[in-house]
Amino acid sequence: MEQDRIVESFFKAIEKNDFTAAENCLTSNFKVTGVGPEPLGAKEFLGVHRAFNTGMPDFKFNYKIGNVKDNVVETKVKLTGTHFKDMPAPIPGLQTIPATNKTLRMPEERVTFTIKDNKIDKLHLESVPGGGLPGVLKQLGVEMPVHHPH
């Protein structure tokens, strides 16, 4: 399968709320980097997107596939959605976020995928001001929980 098609099916599966299909696009040790001090696994990453889809049924990545080189696929995403339903806590430490009816308009973010054996092995999210989960929460008027080192 073409590397970019794998990435495309992953984005589309999440947008269609088909998390089984999304999970089938990932290797068993899939990792997301660039999101915080610790990489996320598939369960946590898809958990965030499950919450987004519940709270914003019209959630879209608005992705563009860029360069494909060897096993690396570069993409750009610009998340959008309307928060018209209560959103379950996307990460531990948050409460359910009651519907705000706010429209999410995120800055463009670069997402780089590494493909291994026709599955996504790594997803790296480039940090941009106002981007990522903190940016989403901020637009919805929610504070990120402060992480206290143990």
pLDDT tens, residue by residue, 36-74: 788 999 999 999 999 999 999 999 999 999 999 999 999
Chain-wide mean pLDDT for the chain?
94
Instruction: Say which CATH architecture domain 3-139 belongs to.
Output: Roll (3.10)
- How far is the C-alpha of 105 from the C-alpha of 78, rounded, in Å? 7
pLDDT tens digits, residue range 108-139?
A: 999 999 999 999 999 999 989 999 989 999 99
User: Buried b / exposed e across 54-89, counting CB within 10 Å, b at 16+?
Assistant: bbbeebebebebeebeeeebbbebebebbbeeebee
Domain boundaries, the chain: 3-139
Instruction: Inform me whether the pLDDT recorded for 148 exceeds 80.
Output: no
Q: Is the pLDDT of residue 7 over 90?
A: yes
Alpha-carbon span 108 to 110, nearest angstrom: 7
Which tokens in the block code for residue 29? Answer: 């040790």
Q: Which two tokens stand for residue 33?
A: 């980097």
Confidence of residue 25 (pLDDT cuts 50, 70, 90): very high
Q: pLDDT band at 150, cuts 50/70/90?
A: low
Q: Say what the alpha-carbon torsion angle 107, 13, 114, 110 is, to the nearest 10 degrees.
A: -10
